[in-house]
Structure 1
Amino acid sequence: MRALVVYESMFGHTEGIAHAVADALSARGACVELVEVHAAPRAIGCDFGLVVVGVPTHVVGLPRQPAVPEASRRTGLVIAKADFGIRKWLDDLTMCDHQPAATFETTSDRSAGSAARATARRLRDRGAEIMGTASFRVVDAPGPGTAGEADRARAWAAGLVLDAAIHRVG
């Protein structure tokens, strides 16, 4: 099975979880393409058995590109990212009907809403069948990820391989 893992990350937390997800998919036999959102294909063909999208929860949902300078100012960190984010990618995206997909988010206790659920809704609007959503905790935006979250991400992703395979057969 071919799998595509697309992520947007500002502070590296979502990227780290995306790598854990990709590693678990690969360990279960998937041929995985891991790409940051600005390099992700805008058209996803039916040759992908699974598409996984990861995004940080900002304020109450999906990040907005104007949030990048604000996040830099608030944290004092320089965030050098392309000004093409998950919202624009989802707006431009075309995919096969019934495309198996899953979403995950990184979030802190101070975040409200869910970027994973918002992403799942947008993917569903484009024909995807959502196999699952997951949320992984970080201490704070620039701070460290929560211990054990990469392991939880690997376990979640391992289950996705089975779900996607059942979807193909069913």
Structure 2
Amino acid sequence: MTRALVVYESVFGDARVIAYAIADGLSPVLAAEVLAAGEAPAEIGPDVELLVVGGPNHAFGMPRPSTRESAVTQHGATIADTTTGLHEWLQAVRVPRTGLAAAAFDTRGSGHRILTKMDHAARTEEKLLSKLGATIIAPAEHFFVADTRGPLADGEEDRARSWGRSLGGLADSRASAGEFGS
């Protein structure tokens, strides 16, 4: 039985909520497992048909050790290990086949429009997925938070669930066409 794997990094909990909503949206088509990057496997198993990754924007990109540390000292975040997260996992994970279906998301502030457009976490996630040999099946999705510590903007959890349904349909179409795994 094939499944989806949703791997996330979350500092204040918003990306975690989005990851679970995406998995909920996927569930009518694919069983979906949700894991924090620190708990994600070192190798993607052959039963994973779809890999979805995401996390917050930090300093216009994916969190890194210095920005995680800043989240702790400046905003009171509780992060057990500031040295590792989604970026580091994507650089280390092994994907034993090319063509794995994949998608990326991020969470970003909903305030200043110009600054919001400069956030590139999901773009970097897509680049790292491509380096793994994955096939991006949908444009990255961006989910908005009201402020640094959240909460999610109104309707974002429902929008994530809907995006998950869409991804499930795309993955199912690929599988039906015989594009799963190569």
TM-score for the superposition, normalised by structure 1 = 0.92
**Superposition deviation, residue 94 in structure 1:** 1.5
Could you say which residue in structure 1 is the equivalent of 2:62? 62
Q: Unmatched 5+ residue regions in structure 1? A: none
Distance 1:89 1:78 in 2: 20
2:16 matches 1:9:
no
Distance 1:19 1:11 in 2: 15
Could you say which residue in structure 2 is the equivalent of 1:31? 31
Work out the number of aligned pairs and report it: 168
Mapped contact 1:10–1:81 kept (Cα < 8 A): no
* Percent pairwise identity: 36
Distance 1:141 1:128 in 2: 31
1:169 to 167, 170, 176: 176
Q: Which amino acid aligns with 1:21?
A: I
Distance 2:69 2:127 in 1: 27
Could you say which residue in structure 1 is the equivalent of 2:78? 79
Q: Which amino acid aligns with 2:104?
A: T
Kindly provide the CA deviation profile for residues 49-69 of structure 1, in whole angstroms up to 9, marking residues without a partner as x.
Answer: 111101111111111022122
Distance 1:50 1:138 in 2: 26
Could you say which residue in structure 1 is the equivalent of 2:133? 127
Compare 78-87 and 124-133 and name the one that shifted more. 78-87
Query: Stretches of 4+ moved more than 4 A in 1?
Result: none
**Superposition deviation, residue 78 in structure 1:** 3.8
Distance 1:2 1:13 in 2: 24
Q: Unmatched 5+ residue regions in structure 2? A: 178-182
TM-score for the superposition, normalised by structure 2 = 0.87
2:42 matches 1:42:
yes
